[in-house]
Structure formats: C-alpha cells, structure tokens
Amino acid sequence: MLSRASCNTSAKADIVVLVDGSWSIGRSNLKHIRSFISRMVSVFDIGPDRVQIGLAQYSGDPKTEWHLNAHPTKESLQEAIAYLPYKGGITMTGDFSSSLFD
C-alpha cells in the first residue's frame, strides 16, 4: 500500500510541466495524464512564496496552458488540472524551433 507523501519544506520552486498534447496520446489517455499531474503536485505547498506550477502542451504548435503565477492555491491548481483540455496536433517532440522557447 502506498502512503500519501508530503513535501514538508520551506523551499521555493518554480516547476513547469511539459505535456505531450499531440494526437498520438489519444483522448482516452488524457484522464491518466491529468491524474498523474494531480498526484504529482498534491505533495507540494503551492503558493506565490512557495512552489509554483506552470504547464505547457506541445505538438505542432505548442501552447502555454498556464504560467507559474496563474494558480496561487492548491485548489485553483487542481481545478486547472482537472479541466486541462486535449490540445491535439502532430507530434514534434524534437522540434525546438517552436514558439514555446521564445
């Protein structure tokens, strides 16, 4: 049985999650992606002076879903994760010429 861990620290961190949003993932796997991200961020103390989480999806045309300062509470962040849309598009994992890095 796995126990629920918690990150008990006063450390600050900015974490950006990069998600493959291409058609190769498939709509049915989006709920697994949402669940994984939700569990991953649940251990952090979310807040402007603690841990901030940003998220971008990549495919043929990458999209920033939310910036680091968009969700100042864990509740707001978890809601955004629950409603993360399926972007779609072609898989271009190795294309670093995209606007995501501009």
* Model confidence pLDDT, tens digit, residues 53-62: 999 998 888 8
The answer to whether 21 touches 58, Cβ cutoff 8 Å, is: yes
Is the pLDDT assigned to residue 63 strictly greater than 80? yes
The domain 13-96 having CATH identifier 3.40.50.410: the answer here is yes
Is the pLDDT assigned to residue 8 strictly greater than 70? no
Is the pLDDT assigned to residue 100 strictly greater than 50? no
Domain regions of the chain by residue span: 13-96
Which is nearest to 58 in space by CA: 15, 27, 101, 28? 101
Sequence-ordered list of residues with C-beta below 8 angstroms from that of 86, at least 6 positions apart, any chain = 21, 25, 27, 30
Span 51-77, average pLDDT: 93
Report how far residue 34's alpha carbon sits from residue 17's, in angstroms, rounded to the nearest whole number: 11
